[in-house]
Structure 1
Amino acid sequence: MRPRVFVTRKIPEKALLMLEERCDVRMWQKEDVPVPKDVLKEELAEAEGLFCLLTEKIDADLLDHAPHLRVISNMAVGYNNIDVSAATRKGIMVTNTPDVLTETTADLTFALLMATARRLLEASDYLRRGEWKTWSPMLLTGQDVHGATLGIIGMGRIGEAVAKRAKGFDMRVLYHNRNRKPEVEEKLGVTYADLPTLLKESDFVCILTPYTSETHHLIGKGELAIMKKTAVLINTSRGGVVDENALYEALTTGTILAAGLDVFEQEPVPLNHPLLSLPNVVALPHIGSASVQTRTRMAELAAQNLLQALAGELPENLVNTEIYKL
């Protein structure tokens, strides 16, 4: 009998065909609306595999309604949307899709940095409103990227990829990480710094750390106060790493200059969110990995992870490896 699999959103056809060849697949059909929890509970009552996104909160209560579930395949690098401990206790494998989105997310991170530094959205809106009447020496002036100091918080694969791009702009690169990485320092010419030093010396601060209980509101009022008044904060990791109330205050009082945000604590971010009202904030709808090629590869990898688990194999990207020691 073919295993039952539930997919929480429409996915690229190639990935879907991979699943349909070996599984009985049911898929939520609404692209712009996350699957409701009651529907998810109903589907998981029979499912052996779950293919999900960051938009689905897979908590202990939900897992209590999934007696046959063997694997949760998350189409993302992060998996803070899943109660991994609860899944492990129930013998459910959890997988993710690392590596495949590294370069694409680094592209977006650097694009967001440049757009924020050079006030590109402000300039575009200024032109479209018909306010461009003449050239003026200080009109919409921003900050130089070349030759500036970039501070990277979280020197994982994406952090390294951003550092490589920064070197092409002759930037001095500082990094802060839970563990120092001498091999990366040698390879990329970056310098380790404690967090206060990085915040104090950087013209641009890029947050690329995973979201955990330790990194919740890692950047708050005290950290923002250390930064330069001309500094730009870029967050393409997870919204919860930054205290958004503190960031709003810092941006409105001139504590820092600007922010570029691809992620928010609540997603989708409410249109009345205070940060969206500020001209010195470039806000994006969590599109770090959003290229056709990368999203397709992510879906295929998530499908592969799920199929490996259902076949009784060790998935290539198993998050809760301790499951095999229980």
Structure 2
Amino acid sequence: MAQDTIRALLLAPFHPQALERLQSLVAVSYESWMDTRKLLSPEELIARIEGESLQIVVVEADFIFEEVFQSTKKLRFVGVCRNAVNNVDVAAATEHGVLVVNTPARNAIAVAELTVGLMLSLARHLPAAHSLVKEGRWLDPVAPYISWRGTELAGKVAGIVGLGAIGAEVAKRLHAFDMEILVYDPYVASAKVAQAGARPAALPALMQAADFVTIHCPLTPETTGLIGAAEIALMKPTAYLINTASWEVVEEKALYQALIQRRIAGAAFDTFETHPVSPQSPFLKLDNVVLTPHLGGATDGTVARYSWMMVEDIERFLKGKRPKNLVNPEAWRGNAL
């Protein structure tokens, strides 16, 4: 290889064909954190970047702190195989002229499909029904038919809070169930809501009308605690709440009280205050919740999408073209290599 060979450290799981393409472009050290089960410390990352003359680092779970940018002179491109880039100090990267590129909407389909699965699980009591049969507790042939009579999605009202990439994918799928769809998103024009086959609604109106409220807004100071006691109190006693976004959007204590007092029918979440969830969490004792271990984006499709998005932007960068998903345009000065 020529002495000016570009070298990359790839710490994210990657689609095999996308990896082959990347290896045809640069010299790649591939060490997926899912294989090593290890995240590199800042000291280890600095040593790798400097010792191996790495210009490109791609991460998913690893953190890249300010000291990494301060202590390395060769790094020019950081890829983040996620939408959120809170595991990278973007301000420090920008200060040192390092591009940060993310992969927006890479898990939108995966999270949308999980959301629908959670809705069906709540509506038809699927986890409890599965346990009854598997544990040998199905003794009366008709008892479950009577006691676990569910509800259908068809004809019901879905309230989507946040019509970003995931919310839009959820709306697309709920149409197939013949649901009426309401959307609360003050940052999305009514025309775009209509294009999604939905009707815009104020948050109180949505909470009152929806049979299923599903949360898909980003976590911001404005959305923290967006669904509080007042909003939950508006829900029907037959309604369900699904949160596959961020746990901070819903006031946990208010939701717990509504569930334990049966003021709403149930809830499902794929996100918690801590991962894993604390064994002392009061939600673990409830029989009207469905809980999944933060696996909304855990699909092979998600890996394939972000892998090809990242390869495309690295290839653009190598050709002196601005990456499509550049997070810090202030750092762009043409081909930095």
Contact kept? 1:72, 1:306, Cα under 8 Å: no
Corresponding residue pairs, total: 325
Q: Which residue of 2 aligns with 1:261?
A: 269
2:139 aligned residue (125, 133, 140): 133
2:80 aligned residue (74, 77, 83): 74
**Shift of the alpha carbon at 1:61?**
4.2
Q: Deviations over 1:118-160 (max 9, x none)?
A: 2211110111121111212532233332211111111123222
Q: Which residue of 2 aligns with 1:152?
A: 160
CA-based RMSD of the aligned residues comes to: 2.8
**Shift of the alpha carbon at 1:268?**
4.0
1:31 aligned residue (31, 34, 58): 34
Q: Give the distance between the partners of 1:297 and 1:259, measured in 2 at CA.
A: 30
Contact kept? 2:183, 2:193, Cα under 8 Å: no
Letter of the 2:31 partner, please give it: W
* Cα separation, partners in 2 of 1:147 and 1:18, compared to 1, 3 Å: same
Q: Which residue of 1 aligns with 2:113?
A: 107
* Cα separation, partners in 2 of 1:300 and 1:185, compared to 1, 3 Å: closer
Letter of the 1:35 partner, please give it: L
Matched residue SS, 2:34: coil
Contact kept? 2:99, 2:332, Cα under 8 Å: no
**Shift of the alpha carbon at 1:241?**
2.8
1:225 matches 2:228: no
Q: Give the distance between the partners of 2:267 and 2:309, measured in 1 at CA.
A: 32
1:118 aligned residue (124, 127, 130): 124
Q: Which residue of 1 aligns with 2:47?
A: 42
Q: Give the distance between the partners of 1:325 and 1:224, measured in 2 at CA.
A: 49
Q: Give the distance between the partners of 1:64 and 1:250, measured in 2 at CA.
A: 49
Q: Deviations over 1:50-102 (max 9, x none)?
A: 2111x333343444344432222111233333333333333222222234543
5 Å-filtered alignment, 1:159-308, equals: 159-308=167-316
Q: Which residue of 2 aligns with 1:94?
A: 100
Q: Give the distance between the partners of 2:71 and 2:233, measured in 1 at CA.
A: 46
Contact kept? 1:9, 1:34, Cα under 8 Å: no
Q: Deviations over 1:146-196 (max 9, x none)?
A: 211111111123222211222222222111113242223433431111222
**Shift of the alpha carbon at 1:107?**
2.0
Q: Deviations over 1:183-215 (max 9, x none)?
A: 234334311112222122211111111223332
- Residue segments in structure 2 that go unaligned for 5+ positions in a row: none
**Shift of the alpha carbon at 1:2?**
2.1
Q: Give the distance between the partners of 1:97 and 1:319, measured in 2 at CA.
A: 10
Q: Deviations over 1:237-261 (max 9, x none)?
A: 2333334444334322334322222
Q: Give the distance between the partners of 1:61 and 1:288, measured in 2 at CA.
A: 32
**Shift of the alpha carbon at 1:113?**
1.4
- Residue segments in structure 1 that go unaligned for 5+ positions in a row: none
Q: Give the distance between the partners of 1:122 and 1:288, measured in 2 at CA.
A: 21
Q: Which residue of 1 aligns with 2:327?
A: 319
* Cα separation, partners in 2 of 1:220 and 1:34, compared to 1, 3 Å: farther
Higher relative contact order (CA 8 A, sep 6+): 1
Q: Which residue of 1 aligns with 2:6?
A: 3
Letter of the 2:114 partner, please give it: L
Contact kept? 1:174, 1:198, Cα under 8 Å: yes
Q: Deviations over 1:27-62 (max 9, x none)?
A: 335526241424334334453222111x33334344
Q: Which residue of 2 aligns with 1:14?
A: 17
Contact kept? 2:171, 2:196, Cα under 8 Å: yes
Instruction: Tell me which moved more, 235-244 or 129-138.
Output: 235-244
1:52 matches 2:59: yes
Matched residue SS, 1:21: helix
Select the structure of larger CA radius of gyration.
2
Q: Deviations over 1:98-119 (max 9, x none)?
A: 3454334322221221112222
Q: Give the distance between the partners of 1:22 and 1:294, measured in 2 at CA.
A: 23
1:64 aligned residue (67, 70, 80): 70
**Shift of the alpha carbon at 1:228?**
2.6
Matched-pair identity in %: 34
Q: Give the distance between the partners of 1:71 and 1:77, measured in 2 at CA.
A: 16
Q: Give the distance between the partners of 1:43 and 1:20, measured in 2 at CA.
A: 18
